Amino acid sequence: MTPRFMVRVYYEDTDAGGVVYYANYLKYLERARTELLRELGFEQHQLAGEAGLAFAVRSLTVEYLKPARLDDRLGVATVVEAIGRAQVTFAQSVVRAEEILLTATVRVACLDLVRGKATAMPQSLHDKLKALR
C-alpha cells in the first residue's frame, strides 16, 4: 500500500513515554479516509448537509507493530478491501519511510442521519470506491 496521506507527529500526539498514544493512530486513520473521500469529490459536510448521510465506524481491528515518536513524518495508506451498498471495509497502514508501524481493518457504515440507521450510499460514491478495489 502506498501512503496517500501524510502526518507529522506533534508533542500533543505523544504520551508520557514520548511515543504516539495508541488512540491517536485512530485519528490518523480517520483523517486518511476523509481525505480519500475528498479526493473522490465527496466532502463529509456536504454528505451530511445535502444528503443527510454520514459514515460511522462499525468495527475495527488494529495491530500496533512499532512505535512512532515526536517529529516523525508518517504516511497513512488506505485501500478499499470490500464494499457493499451500505458499508465499506478499508485496509489501512501507518508507515515511517518503509517501516510499517500499524495495520488496521476498518469497517464503516453509511448512516441516514435522520433515521439513525444504515442506508445505501450514493451510487456515484459507491462506484468510485468500488473502482479502488
Q: What is the pLDDT of residues 12-25, one digit of tens each?
A: 999 999 999 999 99
pLDDT of residue 122: 95
DSSP 78-110: EEEEEE-SSEEEEEEEEEETTEEEEEEEEEEEE
* pTM across the whole model: 0.94
For the chain, state the CA radius of gyration: 15
Superfamily of domain 5-130: Hotdog Thioesterase (3.10.129.10)
Q: Given this model, what pLDDT does residue 28 score?
A: 98
The Cα–Cα gap between 77 and 100 comes to 10
- 8 Å CB contact between 79 and 1: yes
Q: Using the Cα atoms of residue 94, residue 61, residue 12 and residue 48 in order, give the sign of their dihedral.
A: positive
Q: Report residue 111 as a C-alpha cell.
A: 448512516
Q: How far apart are CA 95 and CA 68, in angstroms?
A: 9
pLDDT digits over 26-81, tens only?
Answer: 999 999 999 999 999 999 999 999 999 999 999 999 999 999 999 999 999 999 99
pLDDT score of 133 = 87
> Which residues form the catalytic set?
15
Residue pair 81/90 in contact (Cβ under 8 Å)? The answer is yes
* Cα distance between residue 10 and residue 13, in whole Å: 5
